[in-house]
Each structure stands twice: as structure tokens, then as C-alpha cells.
A and B are shown apart, each in its own frame.
Chain A
Amino acid sequence: MAGAYIRGVGLSCALGEDAESGVSAMQRRQVRPVVLRLDEFDEPLQMPYYRIPDRAELFDAGRLERLLPPVARAAVAQAGLTPEEIHRLPLFIGSSCFSIGLSESRYAAALAHQSETAIPMPLCGYQDIAAILQRALACRGDTYTYNTACTASANALLGALRMIELGWYRHALVVGAEWANRTTLAGFSGLQIVADALRPFDAARKGIVLGEGIGAVVLSAETDSANRLRVIGGASNCDTWSVTTANTNGKSVAAVLNQALEQTHLRPRQVRGIKAHGTATPAGDTAEALGIRQVFAGLPPLSVLKPYLGHTLGACGINELILFAGALQRSFLPATPGFETPDPALGVQPIITPEAAPDGHYLLNHFGFGGNNTVLVLEKTAP
């Protein structure tokens, strides 16, 4: 049996602290970044940021441990897994930052206390998110932690999907986690691609706006009669043109789109819509737009979700899948706030008002540093 069903979801992002309210907020076109200021540098950094609307201090060291478990529990509860199934549940995790925020806090505290003995990177490795989840859910299954920049959680989902299809696992919990930390905020600022607002595919686009978000999906080989959404495949490739962006001629993007279609035995005309990656960087949107145009003679409707929750980097694959899937369940394709003026060089325009989402197949695009391009294919069917 090809594909795996989305049996349960959990989400916490700028749109709200559960998936349903997140989709509702997106339907209402809620766009609420806050202004963030980092004063520790010679020249203070100020940027818009989409934060999870909890009341904790943004860089609080205990925040991840508080935010992560409820999201995972929500997904598992909605999936209706038995205690035995939860016990053996494998975890597939995608993130760019992992526990770097905790490591920063501990190093800063050690420097303040006794600078001579302070050790940088006191926490290292990638296992902390898995450890938090295993403690919270009392699950002991295998873990796979992906660090492929902005495609990390999409690739984690691909990995889970393929192992479910092989019968290695019946269910898998796929988690995307990105939360505020200084390394990410200062690092992207140093790259000079942070903009004052997200304008995907717009002629005046200037760059990304960062966000934080934690999403969890229970993928399952089995479904119930009410389930209408199935991930049926996808593809990933590597573009070695530049470490920070896909080739702006669009060829590697077109290649991965074609691979995803071929792998799922679809033709371009069968695609009902695309959730674009839409980082709103000049080069990133160029590569994506030109790639899409090379594959699709007639363009399907295009939605970009980052204006709602910011660019949640390694978690965007799962976070945006949850929001897009939620919209499909309510039979609409989300509008794209921030898009106003078409860029003639791109030749694509995201939809600016919600459109109907019929049954059929949808593509979800993700591109990341390290040359990673990943496309997921989602199928919506009648109940």
C-alpha cells in the first residue's frame, strides 16, 4: 500500500497553540509578527519575528521542554494510538536549531559565573529533542534526527513514509521544531537576508522573516473512514550550485518536482495546487518560480504560508504541511498575504484570496541551505 495517512496533528506557532486554531487564524488571514530586539551587539539587531504566543521570556532555557510535549501529545491523542503503539513509536525529527538555545544559555551563564572555566557548546549533538519527546510520551522507538536546514522536517517525513511503506513501522511521529535562539537570529542577520516583511514572489520582495514553530504529525499505514489526507510520496535532490540557494535557472527545482511527480505516477495537469516554499528572497523565489514554470504549462494555484507563521526553517516542512492539510480538510487553498505586485521575471503569482480546494493531488515545496530540495505529494480524497 503506497503512502501513509495523516492520523493526528499538533501545532504551536505564531497563529496559535493548537492546529485547529492555527488553521482558523490562517483562514482569517491573521498575520502578527512582533518586533524583536537584541541589544548585546555593538549595533543592536532589530527585526520582525513570528513568535509562539506563550507568555514566557523568549530565550527562557526551559521553554523548549514546555512547548514540545503538548504538541506531540496532541498529535498522538488525535491519532488514537494504543499505549503499546505509543511505546514503540519511532520518532522522525527535523530541526535546524535543535537545542542550541539551551547550549547558548548555559554557556552565557558559565561565562557570567566563572569565565575562565566556561566551555562553549556545553550541550552538543542532536538528541535533546528526541530525549524530551521520549520522556514526555514514554515512547522507546527508534529515532532519526534530520539536519538538512529548511528541508529537515520534510525529509524526516519522507524517511518515515518510506519505512512505513516497507512495513518497518505501522506508525511514526514526525516532528518539526524550531524555536527562538540567538545563533539563528544573529546568523541570518549576518547573511543580510532578513526583511521587514514577507512578500513572497512579489517584485518588491527583500527577504525572509523568521519564526518559531513546533509541529507534530502521526503518519500511519492505517486510517479510519473519516481520514481524507494521505502523503503518497515525494522526492529530494541536491543542487551544488550554491550552499545557500538553488540554482536561479530553476533546473534543480524542476528536476525535483519532476521526480516527485514521476515517483507518484502523476502528470502535472493532475496537480490541484502547490504550497510553495516562498522564502521571499530574491534568489530563492526566482529559482522556485522558474522551476515551477519549467514543469507546469498551466500553473496550478500557488499558496505561500510563511506570511502567517514566518520561516520556521527546519520545522517548516511539518508546520506548513499541518496548516495546508488543515486548509484542504476545510476545502480551501490559503491566500498569500504580502503579495501585491507581480514580478515579470518570475511569471508566477500566488493566490491573494482563498480558493476552493477540490479532491486531488497537491505538491508541497521545500528548499534549504546545503543544496537540499524536497517536494512532498499530498492526496485529498472524498471521505
Chain B
Amino acid sequence: MADLKMTSVDKIDVAYVAHLARLFLTDEEIRTFQGQLDHVVAYVKKINELDLKNVEPTSHAVMVQNVFREDVVKPGLSVEQVMSNAPATISDQFQVPKIVE
């Protein structure tokens, strides 16, 4: 498990986040998005003008809690249905490039 430290983000590093998300952006795209995201962040930062010392961070915008299902088994999909979505299969499994540790 990772450190439970919140990293404060002043600026979104577009190239870094794109790498994490496996997005392949051109330099020009990075510049464009960087500018746009800087604007977004600046806008959201307006909230810092308020005194929020005693306000819990909001995790959910709706006031609903405790939506559970009972522990009951229900049929899922057939293996044929599942595999029909796979670009490549091997022994009823999703085939991926060889994983090396």
C-alpha cells in the first residue's frame, strides 16, 4: 500500500499524468492541455479564499449511504459471450503480451 500522504497539487504535470494514464501526447498537445488545465486549477483554487478549516472534504455529492446487496450468487455471462469481446484469446482467457516480472 502506498503512503497515505495527500500530495498537494499546485499544478498538474500533464506529461507525467499522461504517462501514468498511458496517453501518448505530442508536445503540442501537452502544451495545449497544460494551458487549459492550469486555467481549471486556478478556477477551482478560488475555493481557497474561504475559511474551510472546519469543513470535512466532500467525497460524495449525494446524501445516500449504505446501499448493499445481499450475499447471493447470480448467474453472470457465458464464457462464449465473454470471449466474444476479446481481441485475442487463449484457452478461454484474454490473451495479452507475455508478462515478465
Query: Do the two chains bind?
Result: no
